[in-house]
């Protein structure tokens, strides 16, 4: 019997990025008036697996900061360092994609965000950091900014790290499709 090759998370991420679609094993649900909507797994997700792309418009941080956003819209802007410059993914447009609806969890997130370079452009992708059971809300740490909803939580202190490491996964430009090289490249993630 032929053994099926297990798809690698980076390869999976790149193929979903290229398809401009979300994986079908997640759904959007309204949670409450405080959190609004969230994204939930409909089947178990293995640790390390690609989850969703944080899709949006790639802007230089200068272009992003010259635009006018409401307070709500500005929570959909994700700033990050790439090639020694600050960039932003502007996901403020209601485009039906799920990555933009993933909520913050600073204490024990089940996903982390990584840069995935596809056709020489950075894309932001969520990967599971633990087993995620079906029915669980997907979340990640938005970074160390003082988000208003966090200030309501009184019994804990944010971790004493100013920067986090993100990993660059580089799509291999020499071959079309979904091949990649995976380099554990330390980068500053800023939000
Ligand atoms: C990127 S959006 C996430 C999707 C959002 N829940 C929605 O319904 O559009 C960020 C917004 O979600 C809410 N949010 C995210 N994480 C939260 C949390 N842990 N607790 C409360 N609200 C949260 C805040 O209102 C924030 O402005």
- Summarised one tens digit per residue, pLDDT across range 78-127 is 999 999 999 999 999 999 999 999 999 999 999 999 999 999 999 999 99
Residue for token digits 């290229």?
A: 18
Report how far ligand 1's centroid is from the alpha carbon of 20 (Å). 23
| Distance from Cα 82 to the centre of ligand 1, integer Å | 25
- Which of 3-12, 72-81, 176-185 is least confident? 176-185
Show the domains of the chain with their CATH numbers. 9-183 (2.170.270.10)
What pLDDT score does 147 carry?
Answer: 85
Helix or strand holding residue 103 (H, E): strand 103-104
CB 136 less than 6 A from any atom of ligand 1: no
> Which of 8-22, 46-60, 119-133, 161-175 is the least confident region?
161-175
Considering the entire predicted model, what is its pTM? Answer: 0.84
pLDDT for 172: 55
Mutate to test the pocket of ligand 1, among 26, 29, 34, 35 (most ligand atoms within 8 A of CB): 35
The C-alpha angle 58, 137, 20, rounded to 5 degrees, equals 35
35 lines ligand 1 (CB under 6 A): yes
Decide: 73 in ligand 1 pocket, CB within 6 A.
Answer: no
Please enumerate in sequence order all residues whose Cβ is within 8 A of that of 153, keeping only pairs 6 or more positions apart, or say none: none
Task: Tell how far CA 59 is from the center of its chain.
Answer: 16
């Amino acid at each position: 019997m032929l053994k099926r090759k297990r798809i690698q998370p980076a390869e999976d991420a790149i193929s979903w990025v290229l398809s401009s679609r979300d994986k079908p094993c997640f759904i959007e649900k309204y949670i409450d008036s405080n959190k609004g909507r969230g994204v939930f797994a409909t089947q178990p997700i293995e640790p390390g697996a690609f989850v969703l792309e944080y899709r949006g418009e790639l802007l230089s941080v200068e272009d992003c900061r010259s635009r006018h956003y409401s307070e709500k819209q500005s929570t959909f802007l994700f700033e990050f360092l790439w090639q020694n410059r600050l960039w932003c993914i502007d996901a403020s447009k209601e485009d039906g994609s799920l990555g933009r609806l993933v909520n913050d969890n600073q204490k024990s997130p089940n996903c982390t965000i990584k840069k995935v370079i596809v056709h020489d452009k950075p894309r932001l992708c969520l990967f599971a950091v633990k087993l995620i059971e079906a029915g669980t809300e997907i979340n990640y740490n938005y970074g160390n900014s003082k988000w208003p909803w966090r200030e309501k939580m009184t019994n804990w202190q944010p971790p004493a790290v100013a920067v986090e490491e993100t990993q660059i996964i580089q799509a291999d430009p020499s071959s079309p499709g979904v091949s990649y090289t995976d380099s554990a490249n330390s980068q500053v993630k800023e939000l």
